Structure 1
Amino acid sequence: MLCLAVILLALLCPCLPQKSELLGSRSSEPLFRGADRYDFAVVVGPAGTECFWHFAHQNGYFYFGYEVQWTSGLMRNNRVSASAHNPQGFLIESSKEVRGQINFQTKETGFYQLCVNNWDNSFGSAQVYLNFGVFYEGQETENPQDNNQKLNDTLEAIEVSFTTGINNVYFLSKNT
């Protein structure tokens, strides 16, 4: 019965409409243009390419950073190529280093393509850390005092936890 329900749900889900961004409200308030960013690592195989698409509105500031974390196999060098393309597929900028950063202003709304490739190395893989996103002018940034308060609270919680742990170890060793 459960299996039938899962299959039925899987068949019906593609039919449901899915939106990739918020629709504008009927009020005069503009759409929220918050920052969104992604940080993760991907393994690019020998002579391989990995591409990602990221949605951005016009007049945003896009950043795309990468760094080779480790390599395996026979590699001529540790470098990978990275490139950013606009929604029409035209190259915006490229970089070919062990670590690099590509920054640009978005001139149109759409999905921007980001690619890393390992074309120079036919016999070795590379794990590449990626960091990309977009932010918009006028976007609220966090108050530095709030960040300091969060840091102090975290350090205080660590200190209390550490002290409790030390006391527990002391009493355990004293009783044995």
Structure 2
Amino acid sequence: MYGPVGQTSSSVAPKRPNGLIALYALVIAVGILEVAMGIVTAIAAIGVYDFRPRYPPNIAIGFISAACALWTWIWAAVLLAYCKKPKAHSPLVRLRIHFWSSLLSAVVWLALAIALTTEITHSCEDLSDDSTVIESCAANAVSMSLAYILFILSLSAAFISGLAARGRGGLDVRVDAP
């Protein structure tokens, strides 16, 4: 068949996955914020732990969410880079990698968001005038919100990858396939 200006369809420029590019950019931005907030959550919980022995789970969950956020935004940056390489022969240009890694990321972020949600009840149960407790509660709330946002963004990226794969012939097709 013929494409624009009488060219054959094989010479038509590859289709850019604009939805994935936008989602990966958002995942990178929110992931960087979550790294910072995960560390702040853990440090705030360490400050509260001096006089409340309930906070070790908050410390661990804060550092775990920071580590997962670091992995998430670095991996999203790698996938974003391969969205823009139409001549690359790496497996990273296949929709399969984008779909399954986004789905895995969504599951991880849902689990972390639920963990942060359960811990927020403990970090916010006694908001006295102590600023350390208030900071711990606020940091946990922001970290929890960012975890839910990363879950939604990752699930959206998996959904868009799945739709693109369905419309183009399966998960083995390239991200930029027409």
TM (norm. structure 2) is: 0.26
Which has the larger share of helix? 2
Task: Normalising by structure 1, report the TM-score.
Answer: 0.26
| Rg larger in structure | 1
Structure with a larger share of its residues in strand: 1
